[in-house]
């Protein structure tokens, strides 16, 4: 599912496109197409900044996960990116859905996604979140604190029954940045197995007739590129399953290991493929359950970034180029309002000139910056661009499908970009651009 090395027309060199969608193809005069659509034409038709999403790549990645986990459950993590079309693609490819709010759940259900194939997460679910989840018939709710147990039971009522999972802190540190490591003590998510909080929650759930404890859940972090942290978490979680069996006489049927599977943002970076992860988890789970005398639970995973991230490309127009203190700054018409991840997590991207062949000037090492009034508004550092890069040029940033629009803001009152789907030679608008008129309508004061 990678494009590999593709010769860049007019340069005489190989430009690595391994982190671009698999459908990426070179066009004359430095152009690129994705999903059979010229990216320069997308920029002309829909404007910039714009997010481009390759439907074929999304579907292929969904199918790869289903093939890797044929006996388990794959839940797409909606927080990475969600739209009505995305919900439909995921449903048609046989995945479930992991949502974090009533808003995500409502959008999915109104788009036709079966609520029974959804799981509701969240460390601080509001009463409205819980009530909506029960009303809509969500498949499972993940208990993140003991206070939620009574709230969920009250929303269900005496004549109902709701499946829940208890989120456990397994004490495993993993992830690409401290802010996205969620499997250790001392952070806001889950209930600790080390101090007995998780065991207490299990006992409380088992005592509520309105609730059915379907299994355990954990999520250790994001942008993880090795299977070993998941194996460490699995070992601790199966140990807890065995203790629950011994203490309560219950063999829980489900184990959800969350998501966080890492992708490559730049050529040469590691990524965690579903086949590698599934093979390692399947072997370890069978061995641990066999040793403990446990029936093997159904395994669930929650990929988000790994499904949609590599399918996205962000398009920008260059507004200014200047040299300051030995640094070449290339300023574009977007920035941290449409991609806050470099500022938040230090993510590094690999922009590329699109739509024209570079001139004879030698390449330059540049810093691509946004238009916002923040020194930290940097999209990419130390990237090689043509030496004649100039205002009006089109830049494409691959691996831009996850956590861009979903984390975007209207900072400096710059509207959020549109999302354009490309597939089999056609482009169509999924999410329209947020306009100044939209922003004005929200201001109801005088």
- pLDDT, residue 16, reads 62
Of residues 408, 418, 379, 374, the one with CA closest to residue 395 = 379
Same domain for 34 and 172:
no
Nearest-CA neighbor of 306 among 4, 17, 19, 6?
Answer: 19
Same domain (yes/no): 50, 62: no
CA distance 114 to 108: 8
Q: Are residues 326 and 228 in the same domain?
A: no
Statement to judge: residues 166 and 293 lie in one domain: yes
> Which of 307, 324, 359 is the last residue before a domain boundary?
307
One domain, residues 323 and 345: yes
136 with 24, same domain?
no
- Write out pLDDT tens, residues 402-437: 999 999 999 999 999 999 999 999 999 999 999 999
List, by residue number, the catalytic residues.
373
Reported as a pLDDT band with limits 50, 70 and 90, residue 184 is low
Looking at the structure of the chain, the number of domains it has is 2
Contacts of 172 (CB under 8 A, 6+ apart): 183, 184, 220, 229, 232, 233, 236
Q: Do 235 and 258 share a structural domain?
A: yes
Query: What pLDDT sits at residue 17?
Result: 86
pTM over 0.75: yes
Instruction: Indicate whether 106 and 154 sit together in one domain.
Output: yes
86 and 166 share a domain? yes
Render pLDDT for 341-371 as a digit per residue (tens, 0 to 9).
999 888 889 999 999 999 889 999 999 999 9
Question: Which CATH number covers residue 68?
Answer: 3.20.20.10
Do 354 and 387 reside in the same domain of the chain?
Answer: yes
The CATH number covering residue 405 comes to: 2.40.37.10
| Residue-level pLDDT at 18 | 87
**pLDDT value, residue 174:** 58
Q: Do 224 and 350 belong together in one domain?
A: no
Domain that holds residue 228: 55-307
| 38 and 109 part of one domain | no
Domain end call among 264, 279, 307: 307
Final residue in a domain of this structure, among 289, 307, 325: 307
């Amino acid at each position: 599912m990678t494009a590999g090395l593709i010769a860049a027309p007019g340069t005489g060199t190989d430009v690595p496109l391994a982190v671009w969608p698999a459908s990426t193809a070179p066009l004359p005069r430095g152009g690129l197409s994705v999903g059979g659509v010229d990216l320069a034409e997308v920029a002309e038709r829909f404007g910039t900044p714009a997010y481009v999403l390759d439907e074929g790549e999304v579907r292929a990645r969904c199918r790869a996960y289903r093939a890797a986990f044929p006996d388990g459950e794959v839940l797409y993590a909606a927080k990475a990116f969600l739209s009505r079309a995305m919900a439909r693609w995921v449903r048609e490819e046989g995945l479930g859905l992991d949502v974090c709010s009533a808003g995500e759940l409502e959008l999915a259900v109104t788009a036709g996604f079966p609520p029974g194939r959804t799981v509701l997460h969240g460390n601080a679910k509001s009463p409205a979140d819980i009530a909506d989840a029960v009303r809509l018939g969500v498949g499972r709710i993940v208990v993140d604190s003991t206070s939620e147990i009574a709230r969920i039971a009250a929303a269900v009522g005496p004549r109902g029954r709701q499946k829940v999972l208890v989120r456990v802190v397994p004490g495993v540190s993993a992830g690409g940045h401290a802010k996205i490591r969620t499997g250790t003590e001392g952070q806001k998510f889950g209930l600790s197995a080390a101090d007995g909080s998780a065991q207490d929650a299990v006992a409380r759930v088992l005592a509520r007739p309105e609730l059915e404890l379907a299994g355990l859940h954990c999520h250790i972090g994001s942008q993880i590129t090795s299977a070993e942290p998941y194996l460490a978490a699995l070992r601790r979680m199966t140990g807890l399953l065995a203790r629950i069996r011994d203490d309560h006489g219950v063999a829980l049927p489900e184990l959800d290991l969350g998501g966080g599977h890492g992708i490559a943002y730049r050529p040469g970076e590691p990524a965690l493929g579903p086949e590698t992860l599934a093979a390692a988890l399947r072997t370890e789970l069978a061995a641990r359950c066999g040793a403990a005398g446990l029936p093997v639970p159904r395994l669930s995973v929650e990929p988000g970034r790994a499904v949609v991230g590599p399918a996205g490309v962000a398009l920008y127009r260059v507004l200014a180029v200047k040299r300051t203190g030995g640094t070449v700054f290339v300023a574009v018409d977007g920035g941290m309002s449409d991609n806050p991840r470099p500022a938040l997590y230090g993510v590094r991207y690999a922009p590329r000139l699109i739509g024209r062949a570079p001139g004879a000037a030698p390449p330059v090492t540049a810093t691509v910056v946004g238009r916002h009034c923040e020194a930290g508004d940097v999209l990419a550092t130390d990237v090689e661009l043509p030496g004649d890069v100039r205002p009006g040029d089109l830049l494409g940033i691959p691996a831009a499908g996850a956590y861009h629009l979903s984390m975007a803001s209207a900072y400096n009152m710059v509207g959020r970009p549109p999302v354009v789907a490309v597939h089999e030679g056609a482009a169509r608008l999924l999410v329209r651009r947020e306009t100044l008129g939209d922003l004005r309508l929200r201001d109801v004061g005088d």
